[in-house]
Amino acid sequence: MLVKKFADAKPYDAHNHWGNLGLRLQGFEGAAGPQNQWVGLSHFLPGGGAGPDSTPFEKIYVVLEGEMTVIIDGQETVLKKLDSCTIAANEVRKIENRGNAVCTMIVVLPYPPGVKP
């Protein structure tokens, strides 16, 4: 078992994100950590967001606080507290925090192709 304390979570920069602070909760620890996926905690300020872009792997979002608008193929879906979604591999998405509160989300992603934990 690998336990990581929240106090030890390190920030990371996410490509094509703005108004965002990401913290890596699990992943990239080498052989001691998860071998298939990593988990981040993202805080999006009002007006913050990401995209439009896609990844060659699926990802999962779980909203813990606030609201996040997810836009795919022009269709908008608002995720609220404890709502979740899966974004398919190569699916172009844009996300926007259109509210006045910080949106906090758990993000679960596999390691990118060719990247070893």
Per-residue pLDDT, 56: 92
Domain ranges of the chain: 11-110
User: In this structure, are residues 25 and 4 in contact, taking their beta carbons and an 8 Å threshold?
Assistant: yes
At 59-110, the pLDDT tens digits run 999 999 999 999 999 999 999 999 999 999 999 999 999 999 999 999 999 9
Of the options 1.10.760.10, 2.60.120.10, 3.90.1150.10, 3.30.230.10, the CATH number for the domain spanning 11-110: 2.60.120.10
pLDDT at 19 over 90: yes
Phi, psi for residue 8 in degrees, rounded to 5? -95, 0
pLDDT at 116 over 80: no
Share of the chain above pLDDT 70, in %: 100
- Tell me which residue has tokens 């006045």: 100
Please state, in angstroms and as integers, the Cα–Cα distance from residue 52 to each residue in 12, 70, 75, 102, following that order.
19, 10, 13, 20
- Tell me which residue has tokens 């805080």: 43
pLDDT at 15 over 90: yes
Q: Which two tokens stand for residue 43?
A: 């805080």
User: What pTM was estimated for this model as a whole?
Assistant: 0.94
